[in-house]
Amino acid sequence: MTPTVLDADSIFAVLGPYVYAFSLVLVRIAALVATTPLFSAPAMPMPSKMGLVGVLTVLVMVSTGPMPAPGPLDPVNLTGAVLSEAIVGGTMGLAVMVLFGALAFTGQLVGIQMGFAIANVVDPTTFQQVGVVAQVLNLLGLMLFLVFDGHLLMLRALFDSFDVVPLGGAVMQTGLIVAELVRLGGELFSIGLRIALPTVCVVLLVNVGLATIARTVPQVNIFVIGFLFTISLGLLVLGLSLPSTALLFEDLVENAIRAALRLMYSFAPRA
């Protein structure tokens, strides 16, 4: 008996749905890695990012079992499914990005008050010009994010997303997504002000005192001693507030993961 040889159409009919599913999983994970600050840092080599995405994709496929994507394998359906998966993954990473945006806002606010507005450095995580204080707080945030297992919680949420939002089956609930994004935007400024408040208040009082001295004792060269006082006291208060900032950041990491989960559920199909 002559053995039957499968042609290209037969092979595609058997393996096509699984390759389709693998591609959609890859797109969702790649979008999350590209938007999460820790994973998307330009300092992280591109081969490492690609390897991370590939390993996570294989782990998802192995842990969840075969996930043939629904629907016909036509270009229109494929394009829509890829875009929806990219939006799901990118939106989840946005919640964590807001947290680090709040730290950058805090650093800029404190830096301006302390007189560091003209002193900028290159942030190794984004390759952008940022203030000195913002750079310190950003590195502190990355360290605390790892200490509090934020990266593991984010990966756990990613794995759970495949149970909540099936491949190619995301349904964008615009009202819920917009409401959550607006809330996250408000949280960015709220968190930044909460962290910066002690330092800003102390530096403001110091500036008021220096202004009073300048008016009452004109002989004192206030510009010589002013920067010394504001920078010294600002750094002192900022250092003393770091323990409370670390405790606050632990809660903020959990809130960011919850926000990522809420955004994930806003794509879940209606029952």
Q: Which domain holds residue 212?
A: 8-265
Per the domain annotation, does 271 fall within a domain?
no
- pLDDT for the residue 1: 44
Listed in sequence order, the residues at least 6 apart from 152 whose beta carbon sits closer than 8 Å to its beta carbon are none
Residue 270 domain-assigned?
no
Residue 2 inside a domain? The answer is: no
Q: Is the separation of the CB atoms in 264 and 157 below 8 Å? A: yes
- Residue 9: per-residue pLDDT: 54
pLDDT confidence of residue 260: 85
Write down the pLDDT at residue 66. Answer: 53
CB-based contact 265:163 (threshold 8 Å): no
Residue with tokens 């759970």, as numbered in its chain: 160
What pLDDT does 151 receive? 84
First-to-last alpha carbon distance for the chain, in angstroms, is 52
C-alpha distances (whole Å) from 265 to each of 63, 65, 92 are: 21, 22, 10
Tell me whether residue 3 is in a domain.
Answer: no
- Is 60 part of a structural domain of the chain? yes
**Whole-Å CA distances, 217 to 117, 212, 222:** 28, 8, 9
Q: Is residue 186 part of a domain?
A: yes
Torsion of CA 94, 149, 30, 127, to 10 degrees: 70
- Beta strand spans in 115-251 (E): 120-122, 129-131
Residue 1 lies in a domain: no
> What is the model's pTM?
0.76
User: Which positions of the chain have pLDDT values less than 70?
Assistant: 1-17, 64-74, 117-131, 220, 270-271
- The domain total for the chain is 1
CB 241 within 8 A of CB 198: yes
- The answer to the question of residue 123 being in a domain is yes
Q: Find out whether 242 and 136 touch, Cβ atoms under 8 Å.
A: no
Q: pLDDT by residue (tens digit) across 152-163?
A: 888 888 888 888
> Are 68 and 18 within 8 A, CB to CB?
yes
How high is the pLDDT of residue 176?
82
CA neighbor of 107 nearest in space, from 124, 120, 93, 126 = 120
